[in-house]
Each structure stands twice: as structure tokens, then as C-alpha cells.
Structure 1
């Protein structure tokens, strides 16, 4: 199709469009597989740390590298949480059970739901095995609900499975490791996934989608490749998961043991990461194999997509987060009765879905909906105001491929690895919903032009320390707000200013207070009032007596008409007996001085 099919006018009010009546099928986001040996062989088992420096990722390795083990030790295992996986092929339970047995996972087979006609076993089996096995490997006690739907002449099976999951509110978390670029999906199918994930978020479902495996060249058709992003993962309502690559080749023994544990774990610690790029642009690479990422051509920037590094491009940027995806340290799976090694963001998405199951369990099984809102709060705090380090910032690499120049990693957010990869324990333990944070005082005292001003703003209700910033409006000229909450400086002009101060606590939670601060003009200053005789007069001394200053006596609304200004610090109030009559003996009478700019001072005199 060169354009979306037209809907007859009589049906336009009830039919939004035809979703997938085209020849651009949704593609699995894995980079193929490498067979490593029979599943559960009778003889010696294969070693997944090899002497040539290559390594493969077993569930125990993932738990070490991404700091999941402390959660497991406290019972945070995904128990009571369901993860739904969208698929379009049958899977063999013997593969899933064999995977779990081989790698020391508890006996916890998935639930399989056949939506409509049975699709049978298709070429997508490796993809389905990867998704089911690794979502359950990261959250070993979670329930994995695998939904399979056969593709029809008009609708892709992945569309049908994703819709089934959402329409049946099947799980608090779902993962889809398939994709197609926005341009090829067309208006109707882009709208379908936008609406579907919006519905999912409203139901509290967190939807994870792979970023893609062709680098910045997300739109590929034969020999024609171009920039693009995965339209299944670019909506404002889903989490798009990119890919990273371990930087372990220079000194493998620093990160990997020379032997494996009984469950094939050999990783020793977190391994620094770069953007996954095994394409023809790097030594030893081929094709366009690299993490997807870039700029949506469909969706504007969501309000929550705020963090250092997020481009000011006005459009939705992807991915949001990342996990390992390289075949250099490929994920181990069981498929077709064999152990295989698989790479791609197809592994990253279900693995992050597993991490999210740990979050949901920690949050007393409360659904979290669009997790990007919290991801970016945490990322903004980490990279912008010394918040907790819940992400590993990936600052090296790019997703440039032979078909398209891409994007580079940098500090904070980038369009290769998003906010970074996860430190699971830090992420889960800092996820808690934000408390109400209150700022005080609720109002600020007035200031005076050209006079030093200082006030302290403090926060309570969250986790100290707090950082403070003006998030809307502007301070009076001459004043600044420090990150510790001190508002100070010397105002350079009078007037009123309205602004909002936001406090961010150690967990990235925020509270705000709106202020209006008035800077008054500098008033005249009176240092003394003395009597002069023969005739009766009053001498007023001080400073900032401006030309044209007026004097009001005893509350009169009419200025005294006989005042002699000798200098900016000396006034003589005259008129003899008339003046004397206004000051009865022994009574204190108010005297008000008003400059032409409104600056006012009040004093008194007793005769």
C-alpha cells in the first residue's frame, strides 16, 4: 500500500481505519541466534564462559550485573505479579521448563492463552521463547501469561495479541518485542497503538516495547533504509527499551570468572556499558545491527520527558531506558530443544518487564501505569540534582549504521540508551510514590530597592537533602535562589514579581510553592526632628530626601505647604504660629514624609 485504505463515508463515524492491511509485517526485534548445544545434555554441560573471551548471559549473570540479587534475598522476586507477553506462534513448554531447570530457576511454567485460531509453530518461536524465558528469569516467581494470535489476511497476530492483553486487562505489565517504523505503519496503525497503550496506561498497565535492532535506520525496505523509530514503541504511553553492550573485552577477567557456578553464572560485578552497535560501522560488525533510537515523526514531546540530555526538539524521543542487547555477551535461551544465544532489544524489553514486576511487588502489587513518568522523575533527579543513582549512565557509543547516521551517547539522556540501564535494587527501593512535600514560608516579606535582601526557603515531607530551583516566572532583578534554598541579593528595581519555587528531594520527588515578592522603593530615612525658635520651625534630618518630597502632619491628607528642602538630608518645616498650633504641648504628633516615587517614612514630634 502507498497510503491507508479509505473508509466509506457511511462507516467513517464508527470505523477509525484499517490497522494492518499492508505488506509491512511487524518484525521481531532479535538479531538471530547461535546454537550452543543440546538442552540439558546427558554428558558434560557447556561452559558459558569461554576461553576465547566470549561470554553468554545466564540469569545469574544478569542478577549480578544489574544488582538484582539483594532484592531476591529480601523476597522481591515478582511473586504475585503477572507479565503478559504478545506473540504469534506456539511455544513448547518443554523448552521453557528446560530453560528454568538448567539455569536454577524455580518450577514456574507460563500460562499460554491462544487467542482465536492456533497459529501453530512459526519462525517466531525463538522470539517467543526469548520473551517468555527472560521475563520470567528476571522475575522468577512472576506469572508469565503468553498470548498467541494467528495473523490473518487483514491483521497482524501481534496486533491481536496486544489488543487481547489490554482489552482483557490481563496483567499489570506487558512486553512486546516486535516493531515497524512509524512511516510504514501508516496513520491508522500508529493511531491504533497510541490508543491501545493509552488505554493500557489508564488501566494501570506498564507496556514495554523493544526499540529495534537496526540502529538509527528504523525504516528498512529492501535496499532502501532511512531514519526512523519503532512505531509500536514511540507512543507517549509506553516504555521504549533500547540496547547496550558490555565493555569487557579489554580485561575480561576483571568482570568474569574463569569458571561457572552450578547455574552457569560467572559475572563478578557490574560491567561498564556502551551503546549496542555491532553493525558494519564497527570493527568485526556487519549489517545494521545496533540499538534503535531517534526522534518520532508522529508524537510531540510528552510533558514527562524531562531530564538532562533530552533534546529540545519538540518531539517524542526514544528509547527511554536500556539493557544489554549485544550478541557479544548474548542472552542464553532454550528453543527447539537446544540452548541458543540470542541478542537484540527483543531481550532488553522482556528483561525490563521482569524488573518492573519487582517494582510492582515492592509497591504492594499496585499497578504503576505509564512508568515513564517515574523513570524520568528519577532520571531528572539523578542527572540534574544529585538524586539517587538508579541508572547506569551510558556515555559511550552511538547507533550509526551503514544505512544511516545516527545519534551518540552522552551524559544523562540520549537517543541510544535513553536514561541508561538499571541498577535494579536502587530502582526498586527508590520507586516509592512521592509524599507531599511542603515549602515554607508560604509568603515572602517585601524587599526594598537597592537594599540587601535575604530569605530562606525550606522543604519538609520528603527525604533530605533537598535542592531548590525557580521553575516558572522570574525573581526580582538582582536576586538569586541558591540550590540550598537561600534567596538573596540586592534588588535593582522596585515592583512585584511572581514565581514558583520547586524543591526536589533525595528520591526525585518534588513540591512547589508559588510566591509573589514586592520590592518597595527605597524610602526616606529620618534620623531626628528638632525644634527651632523665633519663629517656630522643625528641622528634620536624615537621608534620601528627594527633590519634591512632601510633608504630611497629624494625618492630614494635604501636604504642608511651607517646607524648605536644604539638601537630601535636611528639611525645614516652617510657618511659625500656624505650624506651632498643630503641635499641642505635651502631645506626640505624626509627621509623614513622602518622596515623589512613593517612598514613605513616618516619624513624630512632641512639643
Structure 2
């Protein structure tokens, strides 16, 4: 463990083999973009105002009751209109906000939930409204153009008492899809991996006929074999009557999903995919494969479920709007997303000029997401988010990547929106398999382990040579939030931790020297992530189909596979139990805390491996949460009312 503690303080090389560059606010704050001057006065700006909830404490108590057996409101989920009437903004408050916006020249639209107002105006109008000036900028790294306030915006005092957050004033920040491809390690021989006896499966009567049994080419059939889903299929539980939703930031080709299901021999409900393009929709771009993965996995696990894909632009208020639309529509029983960004990228220290380097107040979308997730929970919609693919150091993938601007340190951080207490964070494991690289010997993973590629790093350093590759810190995201406090369902969970000491994000400017951008709170009693983990290591990964990425792809992984798999599993549970499942977290933690691990447990403890800092353990751990699933046993608990 001492070596891991030392590693966290080292500079993060920008030449990492697997890292990619984000145009997020942090990189721009550290290496300023070129200010192209005030945006044209008539430039269109879209802003979403998320309104403050009424009676939030009562709302949180009601949510807890909906998922607590024996409570007065157990499984009594609300409709959107009921949520609006009881917890959304009042009609008077909404009328006041809309009247104020209209006087400033902005048009507006209210969601049926009374939770959010989408406003559109010119740069001049929006700047005046928020007491700032909207400027255009050009990223020095990518050349991408974006707009953002030139000074800290202020919510107008006339409506500040009813507005919780404003999303979209800046469209600088983008989110990252959480999937990875197994690297070829240059010209080194990498023989096909093979499944160990512990993970090898058979098809036919005892297994799933759509499974491949080949690490790196696994299908949803293999997922069914690994996590005991087949007994539900044999009972005819295929997701009939359930609807899953995908919230994503890229458009895709729906034929990718139907091709995938057809190619693996999986019969599915026809004409099941519906697309909803929010704010004009996302583009067909580098993220399109992510959307294909999400649809293929969720719809493959639950082949009779309906699927709605909410796609939005990857900038500004797009992500918030897509979630708000999916929740306000309230058609989907469960919703997953595989996109995220480091939680700390929201903090004032990294976004507001002149803010203290210890200011971790929210200057981003954390509050906006939280309010929307509370609505989803009380409506019984289960939410899932990928926890990230950068191990315990979430900023590494976003800040590392082929530029010459210098190095950042790598503090222990977690991903958002997975860090929110009202979404289930999907972590990653490595399944048992055997591997060899170059002329090195064959090694094996003997049990399902926390996914972290330090096991490959150690192999290379020992058998191929040091400094050949740098895989730090690829693995399943996990750790401790430094914004959200420990939620009630984790208070009595063995293994929950507080944030570590001496964690800072420092930019080592090649000309000016080190600059501390953010000092993270130490010993903060925060929400721990992930909650549940399934196989995500690309070395024991999957195939998927993406037209944008050339068709059939193998050796794919990342926690972006896990979130939609949990989404599909929820559709099965929805059919099996006859009702929505609601927020998973209080239920699964209660089951694990009371019944533990064993033959009839709903969870498999993940005791081995690590995500570069947090180790697997026979309890909750920040690499795999409370463990991987036994879906059949979980179904039995839920049907019994546990």
C-alpha cells in the first residue's frame, strides 16, 4: 500500500499511452484558451434553469420509504404530475421566473415536472441577465471554439430564491464516454487470452446459447452466464413490459444494435428503439460507438424491453437537458449513462476567476443533476452511471494526452454524475483468465478481481522491461466524493472510507513552475463509489458493433458496459417483480449488510485486485463496491420483499 500512496503524488505524464485530452474547464483554466472577444450580441445562447425543490427533506424521506419494506409508502412511486404538485416549483414561482426572463428578452419553456425551465436568448441578453459578459474562446489544445462568461455569473436576485442552478452559460466543458479498447502494446505478441476454469462457461442447457466463452469477445450471453441471469430467462423473464432509457451525448446508427443482436443469435422484440433528440440531438462522432454499446448491452440483456435513446449535444446544457427530459417524460423504468467527467471539474476553484484553491463549492452541474435524480428516485426510475475508467485517479484520462503544455499531478478523485448519492455507480472487475505478452510467461487471474491495469504494468516491468508502457491509472473508477456527504445507506456499511489527506491538483507549468489549482478536502466523510461492479476489463472484454468505428469491434471494455448491463438487468427485475425497482442503492446495501456473502447472497465479494489505490476485500471496497451480482438471487430477494 505504501507504493500506492507514493504514486498518487507523482506528476502525470501527458504522453500516457492510453490517455485522451478533454477540452474540459480544468485544462482551459490551467492553460488558458485564447479569448476571441465578446460574443456577437445576437449569438444564440441556451440556458437551463433548474428550480429549487420544495420540501426537499420530505422528498428524501419519501424516497427512502419507497424502497424500504414495511414503510407506509413502500413501492408507492409518484407520477410526474404528482412530483410537480408536491415537490416541484409552485406555479407562482414559475410564473415569476418566466415573467422575469421575458422582460429580459428571453423565451422559455417549462418541463412538466416543474423542475426546470429552458431559456433561449442572445449573448447580450444572457450576459445582462447574469451580470457578466459572454465571450468566445478558442482552445489552445484542440482549436475548438466555445463560449463562456468572462467573469463569475450571478443569478439575478429577483429569482435567486427559486433557482438552484443555471446550466449552459458555458459550453466549454465536455464529457467523456467510459469505454476502452485493449491495447496491442506496439509490435509485441499478444496471444489470444483464454478463460480460466473459474470463468469458462458452456452453451446449451446449462449456459446461454449466445455466449462466446472467449475473453475479449464476450457477449451479453456471457454476462448472463457470469452473473446468474439465465434462470430468469428460463422463466420467460425477458424484460417484457419494461422500458429502458439511454442518456447519451452522441447520435448513433440503430442498425448497429439490431446487427449485434442478430449476429450473436439473440431474438429480440422488433421495432423497439425510439430516439429522442434533445436540444437538436448529438452528432455522429467519436462517441457514437458508446451509444451503440449502451443500446446493444441494455437491450441484449433484456431482449423484450423497449428502448428510448435520449441524445443531446456534448456541451453546455445538453447533458442536463437529456436527463431532465428522460426523467420528466417518466416513460422509462430505468435509465443509464456511460458518460462522465471528474467531479472536481465542477468546483469554483477551477471555474471562477479569483476563487480560492480550496473552494470546492459547486460552480457546475452537480446541483442540477442532483435535483433531477431526486425526481427520478421518487418516480421509481432506477439510474445507473459508469464510474469511469481511470481507477482511483479520475482526472488522469482527462488531463493526459499528447500536448506540450506540461504535467498535472494526479489526486485521488471520482467521476460525476456517478458520485451523486441518488444514482447507482457502476464499477469494473476483471474476470479470471490467462494472459501472456511478448516472450513473457503465462500468468493467470484466478478470481474475479477489481479491475486495474497495474497487473499488466507489473508484468511488463518484470518481463518486458521498465518504462516500455505507462498504463497508470487505467481501471475501474472508485473512491470518495469530496462534494457529496456519505448517504444514509452507506453509514453502516463496513469498508466505507473518508477522503485521503494531502490531495492537490497542481499544474507544473514548463515556464512558470508549479501552480496549485485545487486543494481537495482531507478526511471528508463523502459518498463512496462504486456501488456494484461487473466485468469491465477490455482484456476480458466484449464485442460490439459500431458503424462509425468500422463495424465489429472486439477487446472492448470499460465501465460503460456495466451501466447499461445493470439497466437491462433492471428491466428483467421490473417484469419479474411486477413493479418498478426504484433507487437501487438503499435496497442493495440493506440486503448485503443484513445477509452478507454466501451461497444465497445476491452479491459476490470481490476480494482481489485493485484500482491503483483501493484494494479488493471481502466487504465493501472502493474498487468494486459491495461486489458483483448474482441476479437470480437478487431477484428472489426483491420478490420476497426481503
Question: CA contact under 8 A between 1:234 and 1:299: conserved in structure 2?
Answer: yes
Asked whether 1:350 is paired with 2:525, we answer no
Which residue pairs with 1:141 in the alignment?
304
Which residue pairs with 1:245 in the alignment?
430
Q: Deviations over 1:546-602 (max 9, x none)?
A: xxxxxxxxxxxxxxxxxxxxxxxxxxxxxxxxxxxxxxxxxxxxxxxxxxxxxxxxx
Question: CA contact under 8 A between 1:81 and 1:142: conserved in structure 2?
Answer: yes
Q: What is the TM-score when the length of structure 1 is the normalising length?
A: 0.61
In the comparison of the two structures, how many residue pairs are matched? 395
Match of 2:618 among 411, 414, 417: 411
Asked whether 1:399 is paired with 2:634, we answer no
**Mean Cα deviation higher: 18-27 or 214-223:** 18-27
Cα deviation, residue 49, structure 1:
6.2
SS in 1 for 2:369: helix
Cα deviation, residue 150, structure 1:
2.4
Runs of 5+ in structure 1 lacking a partner?
A: 36-46, 252-269, 401-405, 435-508, 510-607
Which residue pairs with 1:300 in the alignment?
485
Which residue pairs with 1:390 in the alignment?
602
Which residue pairs with 1:56 in the alignment?
217
Asked whether 1:377 is paired with 2:590, we answer yes
Match of 1:191 among 367, 371, 384: 367
Q: Counting helix residues as a fraction of each chain, which structure ranks higher?
A: 2
CA distance in 2, matches of 1:122, 1:425: 38
Q: 1:437-452 to 2 correspondence within 5 Å?
A: none
Match of 2:239 among 75, 78, 89: 78
CA distance in 1, matches of 2:560, 2:153: 31
Cα deviation, residue 11, structure 1:
3.9
CA distance in 1, matches of 2:493, 2:600: 14
Which residue pairs with 2:229 in the alignment?
68
Asked whether 1:93 is paired with 2:304, we answer no
Cα deviation, residue 423, structure 1:
1.1
Question: CA contact under 8 A between 2:533 and 2:562: conserved in structure 1?
Answer: yes
SS in 2 for 1:297: strand
Match of 1:131 among 282, 294, 307: 294
SS in 1 for 2:163: coil
Cα deviation, residue 71, structure 1:
0.9
CA distance in 1, matches of 2:242, 2:323: 18
Question: CA contact under 8 A between 1:210 and 1:240: conserved in structure 2?
Answer: yes
**Mean Cα deviation higher: 412-421 or 10-19:** 10-19
CA distance in 2, matches of 1:409, 1:34: 24
| Structure of greater Rg | 1
Q: Counting strand residues as a fraction of each chain, which structure ranks higher?
A: 1
Which residue pairs with 1:204 in the alignment?
380
CA distance in 2, matches of 1:293, 1:333: 25
Asked whether 1:158 is paired with 2:319, we answer yes
Cα deviation, residue 302, structure 1:
1.2
CA distance in 2, matches of 1:49, 1:174: 28
Which residue pairs with 2:496 in the alignment?
310
Cα deviation, residue 33, structure 1:
7.0
Asked whether 1:321 is paired with 2:528, we answer no
Distance 1:271 1:352, change over 3 A: farther
Question: CA contact under 8 A between 1:309 and 1:411: conserved in structure 2?
Answer: no
Q: Which has the higher contact order (CA 8 A, sep 6+)?
A: 2
Asked whether 1:424 is paired with 2:587, we answer no
CA distance in 2, matches of 1:60, 1:390: 19
SS in 2 for 1:334: strand
Which residue pairs with 1:529 in the alignment?
none
SS in 2 for 1:161: helix
CA distance in 1, matches of 2:616, 2:152: 36
Q: Deviations over 1:340-396 (max 9, x none)?
A: 1221000011011111111111111x1222111110011112328x79311111000
CA distance in 1, matches of 2:421, 2:218: 31
Which residue pairs with 1:332 in the alignment?
543
Which residue pairs with 1:453 in the alignment?
none
CA distance in 1, matches of 2:392, 2:534: 17
Distance 1:16 1:308, change over 3 A: closer
Distance 1:369 1:91, change over 3 A: same
